[in-house]
Each structure stands twice: as structure tokens, then as C-alpha cells.
Structure 1
Amino acid sequence: MSQTTPEPRPAGAFSWNEDWLATVVGLVLIGLVLIGAIPDWLVP
């Protein structure tokens, strides 16, 4: 079995996982509805 250690990430590196991506997309959709760029009935 190989005993390799994972490479350390550089300081300040931020990994985007599904939770953060969903949060950002949701906030963008809310912002677009609030400014009237898309109709509110379009976003569930």
C-alpha cells in the first residue's frame, strides 16, 4: 500500500464546495429578483 501524504494547500486558498456554490447562486437570484431583472414568479 502506498503511503503518500497529501500536498499542502497554499495559504489563502479557498475551495468552493457545493454548499458555498449554492449559497452564492441563491443570493444572486434573490438580488436579481429584488432589482427587477427577472420576474419573481420565475424563481421558486
Structure 2
Amino acid sequence: MSFSQSVDGAAQRVAEDSAAPDGAGKFSVNEDWLAVVVGLVLLALALTGVIPAGLIP
């Protein structure tokens, strides 16, 4: 086995691992994206007046 064959094999395994679904299935929401969505919803509620000005610090 040459060095290039072992590198190609390692690259193929990494590509297969990154394409494999995680434990949550094919669709999963990272907590960072969840925080972004929640923040945008809160911003939209504050700008539209649904959240009263007294609650905004």
C-alpha cells in the first residue's frame, strides 16, 4: 500500500462520514441556529409592538 492510496482511502472515509446522517436523522437544527431564529422572532415582536416598550430594557 502506497502513501497515496492510504490518503485517498482516508479522504473517502471522511467524505462518507460527513454525508452520513447524524443521530437526529437527516434534518437537525443546531442550537446556534435555534438561537438565531428565536432572536429574530423576538426582534420582530419588539419592532411590531407586540412586546410592550416597558419590557424592553
Superposition TM-score, scaled by structure 1 size: 0.59
Match of 1:28 among 19, 41, 44: 41
Aligned residues: 35
Deviation at 1:35, TM superposition (A): 0.4
Larger radius of gyration between Structure 1 and Structure 2: 2
Identity level (%)? 60
Deviation at 1:42, TM superposition (A): 2.2
Deviation at 1:40, TM superposition (A): 3.7
Instruction: Extract unaligned runs of 5+ from structure 2.
Output: 1-16
Query: Matched residues in 1 for 2:55 and 2:31: separation?
Result: 23
Q: Where in structure 1 do 4 or more consecutive aligned residues deviate above 4 Å?
A: none
Instruction: Extract unaligned runs of 5+ from structure 1.
Output: 1-5
Root-mean-square deviation over aligned CA pairs: 2.1
